[in-house]
Amino acid sequence: MDAAIREHYGVEKLRALKDTLRDIAIGDMAAQTSGERILNHLRHGATIVGLGWRITTSLLQPIGLTQSIVRVGPQWIAKGIRHWAGDTVRLENSARVIGEKSDFMRLRAKTLQREINEIRNKVAGRDSVMEASYFYLIQKLQLVADIPTWWGAYEKAMASEDNEARAIALADQAVIDAQGSGQIKDLSQIQRGSAGWKLFTNFYSFFNTTYNLTRESLGRTSFRSPGSVALLGVDLLLLYTIPAILGTLMKAALSGDWDDEEELLRKLLADQVNYLTGTMVLVREAGGVAQNMIDPQHSFDYTGPASLRFFSEASKLAKQIGQGEADEPFWKALNNVSGTIFHYPAGQINATVDGIASIANGKTQNPGALAVGHSDR
C-alpha cells in the first residue's frame, strides 16, 4: 500500500498512518522517570478533581448530540432517538443490544476519553470501585448521545447495504467521530505524544472531534454554491454556537445567575469565544484573554494547563496560610490541593459545600446551587 498512499495522499499522510500503527503497537507507555511519574500523578489527580462526581459536566454530555447531527445526519439521529426512546426501559435494552453487537460500545464506559481511559484501565487497586464511581454519572448521561448516534448510523448503513458487520463498524466509527474516544487508535497524534504534550491536551478529546468535524464540513463545502455555504453555516451552529449557548444557560440556571441580562449576554459571548479556541491545542490556553476583553468585570486569571492546576492551587493555599485565617478560600484551596494529590473529587465537593452554605445563609433559594455552588454576581 505504500506506493499507492504516497501517490494519492502524499508522504505526510503515510507518515501519520505509520506513526499511528507504531503507537498502537507500543500502547500506553509507563512513565520513564520519576519526574514523569509525578506529572502523571498530578494530571490524573486534576482529572478526578475536575470531572469526578461533577454534575455540570455530566449534564453537558447529551448536548454532544449536536455533533452527531453533523456527522450522521438529522434524519438518522431522529431515527436513533426514536429507537432509543421506544419504551420506558429502552435505554437499558438499547445499551444491552448494542453491547452484544459491538465490543467497542460494550467497553465504552472505560474508554470514553483519554483521561478516563488511563485512570479506569490502570492496574486495579482497592480503591478501584470508588474511582469508578467518580465518572459513573458522566458515563451514563453520555449514553444519551451515544445510543441515538450508534443506532442512527447503524440504520443508515443498513439502509444502503445488507452487511451488518460493516454497519456495526460504521456505527462504532460514527460514535468515535462525533463523541470522541480515549483508545490510542482514536487519539490525535498530539494526544498520543510525549508527557509534555499530554499536559496541554487534558480534557481535549471531545474538542478534537469538533475540530475534525469542522475540517470535514469545510472540505465538503463549495463556496461558489449559496446552498452549500448555508449548510456549512448550519454545521457551524450545531458544532459551536448551540452547544456553547446551551451549556452557558444550563450553568446560569443552576447557579441562579439570570438577573442581569447584560451580564448574561457578556457571559454567552465570552463562552462562545472560549468554545471556539478550545478546539486548538495551545490556542485554547489563550482563551481567557478573549474572555477578559469581552467580560472585563470578571477577569480570568490564567493558571496554566488544566493538568497542572495543582501548582496554582498550591500557590493560593500558600497565600491563605500566609494570611493566617482559616476562612472559606483557605479550605477550598486546601481541598483542591489535597484532591489532586490524593485523587478524590474535590471540585464537586467544594461546589456542593458552597451551595449548602449559600442556601443556609439565605443567599439563594435555588437548589441548583448544590451542583455548581452560588455566585454573588
Mean pLDDT for 73-93 is 80
Do residues 45 and 166 both lie within one domain? Answer: yes
Of 195, 219, 245, which residue is a domain's last? 195
Residue 73 and residue 17 in one domain: no
Q: Reply yes or no on whether the pLDDT at 13 is more than 60.
A: yes
Pick the last residue of a domain from 147, 178, 195: 195
Q: What is the mean pLDDT of the chain?
A: 88
Residues 190, 63 within the same domain = yes
Q: What is the mean pLDDT of residues 309-330?
A: 90
Tell me the per-residue pLDDT of 113-129, one tens digit each, with 9 for 90 and over.
888 877 766 644 445 67
In degrees to the nearest 10, what's the CA dihedral of 183, 186, 190, 193?
40
Residue 38 inside a domain? The answer is: yes
Q: What was the pLDDT predicted at 115?
A: 83
Joined grid coordinates for residue 137: 454519572
Instruction: Kindly state whether residue 337 falls inside one of the protein's structural domains.
Output: no
Contact of 171 with 153, CB cutoff 8 Å: yes
* Domain identity same for 115 and 23: no
Please give the model's pTM, rounded to 2 decimal places: 0.89
**Residue 115, in any domain of the structure:** yes
The verdict on 182 and 123 lying in the same domain is yes
Average pLDDT over residues 214-239: 96
If one counts the domains in the chain, the total is: 2
> What average pLDDT score do residues 338-342 get?
95
- 246 assigned to some structural domain: no
* Helix H or strand E segment including 331: helix 328-342
Q: Which residue has the higher pLDDT, 196 or 254?
A: 254
User: Which residues form the domain of 73?
Assistant: 34-195
Query: Nearest Cα to 239, choosing from 212, 265, 219, 221?
Result: 212
Distance CA 26, CA 209 (A): 24
At 148 the pLDDT is: 95
Closest by CA to 175, choosing from 112, 218, 238, is 112
Q: For 228-274, what is each residue's pLDDT tens digit?
A: 999 999 999 999 999 999 999 998 888 876 667 888 888 899 889 98
CB neighbourhood size of 89 (10 A): 8
Any residues with CB less than 8 A from the CB of 230 and at least 6 apart, and which?
none
d(CA 85, CA 79): 10
List Cβ neighbours of 25 (8 Å cut-off, separation of 6 or more). Answer: none
Q: How many C-beta atoms surround the C-beta of residue 84 within 10 A? A: 22
Residues 21 and 99 in one domain: no
Please tell me the predicted confidence (pLDDT) of residue 149: 97
In this predicted structure, the answer to whether residue 10 has a pLDDT above a threshold of 90 is yes
* Domain termination residue (choose one: 147, 176, 195): 195
Stated length of the chain: 377
Q: Record the cell numbers describing residue 260, joined without a space.
A: 442581569
Locate all alpha helices (DSSP H) within 125-260, ordered by sequence: 128-134, 136-160, 164-179, 195-199, 205-219, 226-236, 242-255
Domain check: are 132 and 110 in the same one?
yes
In a domain, 336, yes or no: no
Q: For 150-179, what is each residue's pLDDT tens digit?
A: 999 999 999 998 899 999 999 999 999 999
149 and 70 Cβ atoms separated by less than 8 Å:
no
Report DSSP state, residue 29.
Answer: P
Residues 86 and 116 in one domain: yes
Q: Which of 356, 335, 354 is nearest to 346 (CA)?
A: 335
Residues 44 and 182 placed together within one structural domain of the fold: yes
Please tell me whether residues 17 and 85 are part of one structural domain.
no
Please tell me whether residues 107 and 170 are part of one structural domain: yes
**Grid cell at residue 213:** 468535524
